[in-house]
Structure 1
C-alpha cells in the first residue's frame, strides 16, 4: 500500500480494507485521504487547530467530488489561519452563518423594513403616499421577479428594467418619481451602519441617471385664467361637503393639497386670524404661517357651525372629524368634470379647459400676487417656498404682516373675478396703461443762443 499520493489517480487506486486508514499527500504534508472500510475516500487535515494543544482531524470534502487542487488550497489557507491562532473551522462556520444571514435579507424584507421607517423620518409629509407607491411598484412579484433575491444580489439593470416598465406603460412622470424613491431606499440600505446588516457597500443605482432612461421632472407651467376661476368657484357650489369647502380653501389660502385637507382645528387661532401648519406636515420641515383672509374666516365659521360639540380634530372630514377626508383621483375627476361642464355652459364656442391639477391653484395665485405688486420674497413666503441660503441666514423676518396683506389682496382679486365676468387676471398684463406724464404737461427748454 502506498505511503503517500501525488495525484488523483493515486487516490483512486487506493484499496479499501477492513478498517479505515489514512494516506498522506506527498506535496502538502498536512493533507491526508481517509479511506473508509466501505471504500469511501475523504480529504482531511491533521493539525493543531487554533489554540488547541492536541492535534485533531478536520474534514475537507469527499475525494470523489472535491478536486485534489482544491483540497491542497484549503489546507494551505487553514494553515495560514492556524499560524495566526485562528481556528479555520470556527472561521468557516461564522462565514456560513454570515452568508445565511445575508441570504435571509431579501429585497422584499429590506424594502418592507424601510417603508416601516418612513413615518418616523424628519420630513415625512408624504410617508403614506411614498410607502403605497413603493409597495405597488416594487412589492409585486409580477412586476419584480427578483423580489425574493438577497438584496446584495440586486443589480442596477434589474432596477432599470423595472423603472423602464413603468415608463413604457405610459407613466413617465410616475417612473421619474419612483426612481427618486428607490434611489433614496438604496442610499438608506447602504449607509455604514447598515452594511453589516445587509452586506451592501454600494447602491446598485448610484451610477444610474434618470436621463439614461429618458426621464425628466414634469414641471407644471399651467395656471387658471379668470373664466376658469369662475367655473372652479361654481363647481365648488355644486359639490357636497367636505369636497366643496376643501377646494375653496385651496384656492383661497394657496396652500398645498395635503397641508389643507389634513388641517386640524387646533392649528387655527381665530382671534389672531392665523393658521399655523406644523413643521411635521409642511414640505420644507418648518412651520408655515397662513394669515386668514375674510373669505377663509367665513369658510371656517361656516364649517364650524355645521359640526357638533363631539366633532373630532380634523376640519375637513367625512366621519365627524375622527379622520381627515380623502382626496383621491375619483374626487378630483368628479370636480374637474363639473368645472368643465360649467365652463362650457358659460363660455359657448370655447374649447374646454386643458387638463389641470389642484396644484394649478398655487401657480395661479402666485402669478396674481406678482401682478398685484406683492414683493417677490413676500409672495414666495405666502406659498411656503424657502428663502435662499444667505437670505435664510440673515433675514429672519417671517413677513407675517406682509403675508396678511398679500392674502387680503388675493382674496379681493378673487372676489372681483367671481363677481365681475368682465374682470380678467390677464388684463393688466396685456393693456398699456395711460398714466399722466410730465412730458405731456411741459415743453422742453429752448437752447440758449
Structure 2
C-alpha cells in the first residue's frame, strides 16, 4: 500500500491541532480533522457543469469507516465519469426517498378526512356526516389503506357496479363526485400529478330526472294557510317562506349567509361555489324577503348563516329540514321544497312573464349551447319587477293569515 494512503491506525491516532487539517487518501478523498476533535470524510471534485471545485460530505469518522468512505468515493467517481454531479444525485435520491415515505403515509382515508375537514366550512354538519357515512359504507372498506397514488379508476368503478345493478344511480352519482373531489384535493396539494378518477361518472348510467312533487298554482292559498297555522318553529318557517319568495334551490336557501346579503342595494348574491351551475347568482330582494330577514336578525344576526343549525349554531339548517316540515304539514308525496320553484315557475309563466326572465330567476342554463354563449344577460332589472309581483302574489294568497314576509304581523305556533 502506498505511504500516501490512509490506514485505520493512522486515522485512530490522528490528533486535533489548533487549526483544522486534512489527511488525504487520494482521488479526492480526505479526512478533515477539526480543533474540537471531530473527523469528517470529504470528497473533493470538479463539478461537471461548470468545472468548479466542490466538496461532498461522506459523513463522520468512525461512524463511516475507511472502507465505506472509499466505496462512496468509487461510486462518486463512477457518476462523474457519466458527467453526473454526485452531490446533485445525492440530493435527488434524498428527495425521492422522502417523497416515497410521504406517499406511503398518504392513504386514501387520510386524504379523504383532510378533504372533508376542508369541506365542513361550506356544508352543514348533517351533510358532512352523510358524506362520510356513504364513503364508509361503499368506498373505505376496500380503499381506506391504499396509498392515494395507487388509486385507479377501475378500482372505484368495480366498487360502484353493484350499486348501479341495484338501481341506486343517485348514490353512484354522489359517490363518483365525492371520490373525484378527494382525488382532485390530492392533486391540488401536490400529492398526485393528475386525477385518475376525474371521469368515472361517465361509465355509469345517469339517474333519470324526476320531476319534483309540487302543487298547482291555485293551491298556494291553502299552502300558505298550512304553513302559517302549522306547528313550525320560526327558523324553519322563515326558511320555507324565504325559499318560496326567492325561488332558489333548497341547499342554496338553507346555506344563506348574512355576508351574502346587501340590504342597502336589496340584493342577495350567492357565490359561484354554492351554485349548481358554478356561477354567481344575484337575487333581487323584495320587501317581503327583506321582512323575513328582519324576522331572523334577532335569532341569527350575530351568526354566519341566516338560518342556523339547531345542533351547530355556526352551521346552517339542513337542506332537508324544509322537506320534513312540509311532510309533517301533510304534503308528503305532493310537495317538496324544490317543488316551490316549480310552483313559482308555473305561476309566472301563466302570468305571461318573459320566459327568459323566469329562467334567469331560477338560475337555469339555456339548453341551447350557442344561444347560451351569446346571451349573457341575467335580466336583473326585469327580475326586480317580476319577483316583487311574485312576493305580492304570495302575500295575497295568505288570505288574511299572517305571512312572516307580509305586512300584517306575525303568528307563530311553537312546537
Structure 1 and Structure 2 fold alike (TM over 0.5): yes
Matches within 5 A, 1:203-242: 203-206=195-198, 208-210=200-202, 212-216=203-207, 218-220=209-211, 222-226=213-217, 229-237=220-228, 238=230, 239-242=232-235
Aligned Cα root-mean-square deviation (Å): 4.7
Partner of 2:324: 333
Counterpart-to-counterpart distance in 2, 1:160 and 1:147: 15
1:357 equivalent in alignment to 2:350: no
- Structure with larger RCO (C-alpha < 8 A, sep 6+): 2
1:408 equivalent in alignment to 2:373: no
Instruction: Sort the Cα spacing of 1:303 and 1:372 in 2 relative to 1 into closer, same or farther, 3 A.
Output: same
Partner of 2:154: 157
8 Å Cα contact 1:269/1:275 also seen in 2 = yes
8 Å Cα contact 1:372/1:409 also seen in 2 = no
Secondary structure of the 2:195 match is coil
8 Å Cα contact 1:314/1:323 also seen in 2 = yes
What is the deviation of 1:254? 0.9
Secondary structure of the 1:242 match is helix
Deviations 1:272-308 (A, max 9, x none): 6x24234267514425132305x4355445556xx38
Listed as ranges, the gaps of 5+ residues in structure 2 are: 1-42, 47-55, 59-65, 401-415
Instruction: Sort the Cα spacing of 1:83 and 1:217 in 2 relative to 1 into closer, same or farther, 3 A.
Output: farther
8 Å Cα contact 2:357/2:378 also seen in 1 = no
Counterpart-to-counterpart distance in 2, 1:55 and 1:214: 66
Secondary structure of the 2:284 match is strand
What is the deviation of 1:147? 0.7
Listed as ranges, the gaps of 5+ residues in structure 1 are: 1-47, 60-74, 341-352, 421-449
Partner of 1:276: 268
What is the deviation of 1:413? 4.3
Counterpart-to-counterpart distance in 1, 2:358 and 2:167: 36
Alignment TM-score, normalising by the size of structure 1: 0.57
1:289 equivalent in alignment to 2:283: yes
Partner of 1:145: 142
> How many residues align structurally?
331
Partner of 1:438: none
Using the TM superposition, name which of 84-93 and 181-190 deviates more: 84-93
In the alignment, which of 226, 233, 246 is matched to residue 253 of structure 1?
246
Using the TM superposition, name which of 368-377 and 408-417 deviates more: 408-417
8 Å Cα contact 2:255/2:317 also seen in 1 = no
8 Å Cα contact 1:253/1:296 also seen in 2 = yes
8 Å Cα contact 2:268/2:282 also seen in 1 = yes
Instruction: Sort the Cα spacing of 1:235 and 1:165 in 2 relative to 1 into closer, same or farther, 3 A.
Output: farther
Alignment TM-score, normalising by the size of structure 2: 0.61
8 Å Cα contact 2:246/2:289 also seen in 1 = yes
Counterpart-to-counterpart distance in 1, 2:295 and 2:81: 83
